Amino acid sequence: MNSRLVNSRLVGTIRRRVIAVTGLAALLSMSLAATPAAAQASGTLRIITWADYVPADVAAQFTKETGIKVEVALSNNEEMISKLRATRGAGFDLAQPSQDRIAGPQQEFGIYKPIDLAKVRTERIQPDLLATVRRNATVGGKLYALPYVWGAEGLVVNTKRTKINDYLDLCRPDLKGRTSVRLRRPTLMAFAFAMGKDPFALYGNRPAYTALMEQVGAKLISCKANFRFFFDNRDQLLNGMRSGELHAAMMWDSGGWRLNRENPDIQFIAPKSGALGWLDTYALPARGKNEAAAYAWINFTLRPDIAARIAKSIGNFSAAKDADKLTDPVLRAQFAASFPDGFKSVRWYPAIPPGLEEIEGRILDRVKAAQ
């Protein structure tokens, strides 16, 4: 055989092998870059979060892919802040408070640590939601949260029993003993808006805010005979609507849509004065022990396929890009029916300044004690 042809083939084979090895190295490099912090993560990830936010099948897949075990403690905004305050930010590696509960607690108690954006696949996050969280969860120039899921709180009504269009309708005489709300700050905000006031605009004016909360508290006390009960948990409210014990209530969109799937007569509606928009987050407790695992989980759950499964579990929408394309079409249709104009009229919670929740707590205690 011609020696030049042999040499040519040999050189070609060597080049192909070099390219193959180089390509493999590049792929490995890309893989490591695609999952920041995942390579060194191990052990157990401790998450404090809301019900349904960590589906068992998603946690199992995460463990299978990373080797990291997941432990979940169920909580709500108030309990998360209370527990992290008591431990000075210890006990958990990841928390999921609402975006309006980041700046105030951080300024007062220092319970979170800043997000290292170099370790996060931020290109997977919807830019407008990331911008919203940046505005509300930045303290001293540092970002303390990232968006996870979002939704709204409004009204649920059994349309065969009554018709309502705003929060104050829950106080109508014909609905005595047939409505329900939570004794939590969202109810104070909702009734303030329904009374024609903007509580968010008064966040910086404590005397004016206190006066408004006094007015809202008085309204709730006068309406107390209408409330069958102040619900403490989702199941209590869902069962009250299912049984017909309640005709209408203040509720999250996900709960209303769940009831609607069971009974088309029950509908979730956006109130005339505006639904209250919430956005829950990823936040890092100040003294969490497994930060690498937390970042691994954040990047894992920002994948569109994983985010869509989480959204289905919660019944709301993910902040991850392209997850909505994989979301249950029934849920998308329910959203369109409840919010025909999208979220244009939704009132998004801004960051709560330190001290306001103490004012609200006194008002809520007064409403609870009133006869």
Residue pLDDT, tens place only, 162-180: 999 999 999 999 999 999 9
The answer to whether residue 23 is domain-embedded is no
Model-level pTM?
0.80
Strand partners for 249: 156, 180
CATH number at residue 157: 3.40.190.10
CA–CA separation, 129 vs 357, rounded Å?
Answer: 25
The answer to whether residue 140 is domain-embedded is yes
Q: In which band, very low, low, confident or very high, does the pLDDT at 234 lie, cut at 50, 70 and 90?
A: confident
Query: Average pLDDT in the 117-144 region?
Result: 96
Distances (CA, A) of 71 to 14, 59, 177: 50, 9, 40
Contact between residue 143 and residue 117 where contact means Cβ atoms under 8 Å apart? yes
- 157 and 273 share one domain: yes
41 pLDDT more than 60: yes
The answer to whether residue 11 is domain-embedded is no
Query: How high is the mean pLDDT of the chain?
Result: 89
- 203 and 304 share one domain: no
Structural domain containing residue 157: 151-277+347-369
Residue 19's pLDDT is 34
- 316 and 270 share one domain: no
Number of folded domains that form the chain: 2
User: What is the number of other CB atoms lying within 10 angstroms of the CB of residue 36?
Assistant: 20
Torsion angle of C-alpha atoms 20, 26, 31, 33, degrees rounded to 10? 180
27 pLDDT more than 50: no
